[in-house]
Amino acid sequence: MFTDRYVYPDTINIGWKLSGGTKTVCGYACRKATATFRGRAWTAWYATDIPVNDGPWKYGGLPGLILQIEDATGDQHFTAISIRTPTENISMQKRSEPFKTTRKRFNKQLNDYRSDPGKIMSGSPLAGKTVDGKEIPVPKRQLFHNPIELE
């Protein structure tokens, strides 16, 4: 969980409802769409002038790029701050193959890690040691966690 990458099959079906609201984000005229996805109610603003049906995190499927999206509580908020065309080629570094898992198993591991992040260090080469070579125990400490997906 520490530095590894994981992948799992995930069916994403966001039932967007398009509405008449408009707003400018990043200099683009955007239209409003709303949906409930995995436990949160979302409002998205998408630009039809950018014909890409994508957006941040797992959000997409609208007739334009999502430039802003926020949940109803205001806890989760993504806003594009600029859009530009690169002047040079972008190279991607080849990464190692991710571990294949299921969404349920991944979420369990993630929750276990967040409830006791020091546990992952115990018994690993990264664990701190005293001068006599004894492992220094890591105190149990829970990480703050406000997941994007509640379900």
Where do runs of H (alpha helix) occur along the chain?
A: 103-115
Q: Does pLDDT of 90 surpass 90?
A: no
List pLDDT tens digits, range 6-64: 787 777 889 999 998 999 999 999 999 999 998 999 999 999 999 999 999 889 999 99
Q: Does pLDDT of 142 surpass 60?
A: no
How far is 19 from 138, CA to CA, in rounded Å? 51
Q: Which pTM value belongs to this model?
A: 0.67
How far is 107 from 149, CA to CA, in rounded Å? 10
CA 52 to chain centre: 19
Minimum mean pLDDT range among 81-85, 92-96, 128-132? 128-132
Instruction: Give the contacts of 118 (CB within 8 A, at least 6 positions apart).
Output: 138, 139, 140, 141
| % residues pLDDT > 70 (the chain) | 79
pLDDT tier, 147 (very low <50, low <70, confident <90, very high otherwise):
low
| pLDDT value of position 115 | 76
Report the pLDDT averaged over residues 116-136: 69
Q: Where are the domains of the chain?
A: 17-79, 99-145
Average pLDDT over the chain, rounded to an integer:
84
| pLDDT value of position 102 | 86
Q: Does pLDDT of 71 surpass 80?
A: yes
How far is 126 from 135, CA to CA, in rounded Å? 10
